[in-house]
């Protein structure tokens, strides 16, 4: 039971607390380049999800046999293989979207988040934890992509997933689907995230101060179980 809880935590941490985009600021290049519409963001998110989960699975399963000296090269080969698989699959199944994403699907290889997870996590943990971590991290990446893609599409086109939202009277902010809109939206989203985290931190400090007595009591009885 205890292991299940921590595996679950490995997954959940990537979604919010250690979100690869908002907190670790990784994978900026695909993040900004393909988020001019929500559907592009979803396809990019799914592609990254597939590559990260399968590479983490492989790296973690074969970690005993991967010599330390050539590990980075091996990780890159594994990642590049799966990216090629994704590239050809999207080209075959969704040619219209492939045309829009274009060069940015092969560029998933250069997403530092994926290589970073192999080096920092998958190569040191069991398959189960590695996959959970990969699911969480790519989930967090997907959330960020979707947030950015939706904001940009709603403001820049007046639609979401191609469905018109505001009718003919809405004058779209074209700048939002152009490159500057990507930079500005992500900057503002990061700002919001920082503000939210800071507020939460201050709130927690206040709560901790007020309930110090209660908290001390709780730690003495349950703390051992929680930290184990």
Partner 1 sequence: MNTTNTTVQTQEPSSRRLVMSMAIAGFISGMIIIAIYMLTFDTIKENKARELRLAVFKVLPHVSHMQKLHFKDNKLVVVKADGMDDEMIFAGYDKDKKFIGYAIQGKAPGFQDTVHVLYGYLSSNSNITGMEILDSRETPGLGDKIFKDMDFVGEFINLPMHKDIKAVKKGTKTHENEIDAITGATISSKVVVKIINQAFKKWSPRLAEQGNEPALELYEAKVNKESQ
Partner 2 sequence: MDDLLWIFISTLLVNNFVLAYFLGLCPFLGVSGHLETSFRLGLATTFVLVITALCAWILNTYVLIYAPYLRLISFIVVIASTVQFIEMSIKKLSPALFKSLGIFLPLITTNCAILGLAIFATNRSYDLVEGLVFALGAGAGFTLAMVLMAGIREETEIMDVPVLIRGTAFNLIIAGILSMAFMGFAGLFSST
Residue ranges binding partner 2 (CB under 8 A)? 25, 28-29, 32-33, 73, 76-77, 80-81, 83-84, 87-88, 102-103, 106-107, 109-112, 115, 175, 178-184, 186-188, 190-191, 194-195, 198
Centroid of chain to Cα 118: 15
Q: Which does 167 bind (CB under 5 to 8 A by kind): partner 2, partner 1, none?
A: none
DSSP assignment of 123-164, as one string? Answer: GGS-HHHHHHHHHHHHHHHHHHHHHHHHHHHHHHHSEETTEE
Q: Output the smallest distance, CB 167 to partner 2, in A.
A: 28
Q: Which does 111 bind (CB under 5 to 8 A by kind): partner 2, partner 1, none?
A: partner 2
Q: Per rule CB under 8 A, is residue 65 in the interface with partner 1?
A: yes
Q: Which does 24 bind (CB under 5 to 8 A by kind): partner 1, partner 2, none?
A: none
For partner 2, give the closer residue by CB, 64 or 69: 69
Query: 166 by DSSP, 3-state: which?
Result: coil
Q: Which does 112 bind (CB under 5 to 8 A by kind): partner 2, partner 1, none?
A: partner 2
Interaction residues for partner 1, span 85-144 (CB under 8 A):
85, 88-89, 91-93, 95, 124-126, 129
Give the torsion through C-alpha atoms of 23, 26, 30, 35, to 10 deg: 10
DSSP state of 70: G
Query: 19 by DSSP, 3-state: which?
Result: coil
Q: Is 119 exposed, middle or buried (0-12, 13-18, 19+ CB in 10 A)?
A: middle
Q: Per rule CB under 8 A, is residue 226 in the interface with partner 1?
A: no
Query: 164 forms bridges with which residues in the sheet?
Result: 159
Q: Output the smallest distance, CB 56 to partner 1, in A.
A: 14
Q: Which does 162 bind (CB under 5 to 8 A by kind): partner 1, partner 2, none?
A: none
Q: Distance (Å, rounded) from C-alpha 46 to C-alpha 139? A: 9
Of 66, 107, 110, 159, the residue at the interface with partner 1 (CB under 8 A) is 66
Tokens representing residue 74 in the block: 């091996």
Instruction: By CB under 8 A, name the binding residues for partner 1.
Output: 6, 36, 63-70, 73-74, 77-78, 80-81, 84-85, 88-89, 91-93, 95, 124-126, 129, 156-157, 172, 174, 177-178
């Amino acid at each position: 039971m205890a292991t299940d809880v921590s595996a679950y935590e490995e997954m959940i941490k990537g979604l919010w607390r250690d979100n690869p985009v908002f907190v670790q600021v990784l994978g900026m290049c695909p993040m900004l380049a393909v988020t001019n519409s929500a559907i592009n963001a979803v396809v990019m998110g799914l592609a990254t999800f597939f590559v990260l989960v399968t590479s983490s699975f492989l790296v973690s399963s074969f970690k005993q046999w991967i010599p330390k000296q050539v590990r980075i090269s091996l990780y890159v080969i594994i990642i590049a293989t799966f990216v090629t698989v994704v590239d050809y699959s999207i080209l075959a199944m969704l040619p219209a979207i492939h045309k829009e994403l274009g060069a940015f699907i092969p560029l998933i290889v250069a997403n530092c988040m994926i290589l970073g997870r192999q080096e920092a996590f998958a190569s040191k943990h069991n398959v189960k934890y590695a996959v959970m971590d990969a699911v969480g991290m790519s989930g967090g990446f997907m959330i960020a992509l979707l947030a950015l893609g939706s904001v940009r599409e709603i403001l820049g086109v007046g639609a979401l997933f191609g469905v018109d939202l505001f009718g003919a009277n809405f004058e779209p902010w074209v700048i939002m689907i152009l490159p500057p809109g990507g930079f500005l939206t992500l900057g503002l989203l990061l700002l919001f995230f920082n503000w939210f985290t800071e507020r939460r931190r201050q709130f927690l400090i206040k709560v901790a101060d007020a309930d110090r007595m209660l908290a001390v009591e709780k730690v003495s009885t349950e703390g051992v179980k929680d930290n184990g």
